A = this chain, B = another copy of it.
Amino acid sequence: MSQDQMIELKTDRSRLRRAHERGSYDRATLYSVLDAMPLAHISYVMDGKPSQLPTLQWREGDHVYWHGSAASRALRAMEGKDVCLSVTMMDGYVLARSAMHHSANFRSAMVFGVAEKVMDEAAKAARLKAMVDSILPGRWDSLRAMNDQELKATAVMRIPIEEASAKIRSGGPKDDEEDYALPIWAGVVPMQTVLQPPVPDDRNLDGVAMPDHLSRIRIG
Binding site for B on A (CB under 8 A): 1, 38-39, 41, 43-45, 48-52, 54, 56, 68, 82-84, 86, 88, 90, 93, 95, 97-100, 102, 104, 106, 108, 110, 112, 128-129, 132, 135-136, 139-140, 142-144, 146, 150, 154, 172-173, 175, 179-205, 207-211, 214, 217, 219
Would you give the shortest CB distance from A55 to chain B, in whole angstroms?
A: 8
Check A88/B188 contact, CB under 8 A, given A132-B99, A146-B98. Answer: no
> How far apart are A183's CB and chain B's nearest CB, in angstroms?
5
Contact of A198 (CB < 8 Å), options: B90, B182, B188, B219:
B188
Cβ-defined partner of A189 (8 Å) among B68, B179, B208, B214 = B214
Contact A210–B185 (Cβ < 8 Å): yes
Please indicate the chain B residues that have their CB under 8 angstroms from the CB of A198 in the complex.
95, 187-189
Q: Contacts A45-B50, A189-B196 known; list 4 others, CB within 8 Å.
A: A99-B150, A180-B203, A187-B200, A190-B196
Contact B144 A184 (CB under 8 A): yes
Q: Which residues in B have their C-beta under 8 angstroms from that of A139?
A: 95
Question: Cβ of A128: which chain B residues have Cβ within 8 Å of it?
Answer: 99
- Residues B144 and A179 in contact, CB atoms below 8 Å apart: yes
Are the C-beta atoms of A201 and B173 separated by less than 8 Å? yes
In the complex formed, the residue of B with least CB distance to A188 is B199
Output the nearest chain B residue to A114 by Cβ-Cβ distance.
B49
Taking a contact as CB atoms under 8 Å apart, the answer to whether B54 and A43 are in contact is no
Closest to A139 in B: B95
Known pairs A50-B45, A50-B84, A128-B99; A194 contacts B195 (CB<8 A): no
